[in-house]
Amino acid sequence: MKITTAIKQARETIGTLAPFGDGFIYLTYAKHGTYQSTPADYWQAMASRSQALINECMFAMGREPVQYNGGRWTDYI
């Protein structure tokens, strides 16, 4: 799978951040349902979402995920 196709698929699968209680969450849209992330402060939720996007891309391309350490998540693909 091409990188651009994997990125598009990841963006369709992993939702954007949304306020939830005192923190933020994102949704993951899977074949078997929709899953909600654990509520966290903004920066932790953003890092968690970035890692989820990386994992989704790498899985789609048949590669091993890498650890997100900050910056643009697309730089890790």
Q: Would you kindly state where each structural domain of the chain is located, as residue ranges?
A: 3-76
33-50 mean pLDDT = 97
Assign 11 a pLDDT band (cuts: 50, 70, 90).
very high
49-72 mean pLDDT = 96
Does the pLDDT of residue 1 top 90, yes or no?
no
Q: What is the pLDDT of residue 18?
A: 97
Q: What residues contact residue 63 under an 8 Å CB cut-off, 6+ apart?
A: none
**Burial (CB count <10 Å: 0-12, 13-18, 19+), residue 19:** exposed
Assign 10 a pLDDT band (cuts: 50, 70, 90).
very high
- What is the pTM for the complete model shown? 0.92
Q: What is the pLDDT of residue 76?
A: 96
Question: CA 7, 46, 32: angle at the middle one, nearest 5?
Answer: 60
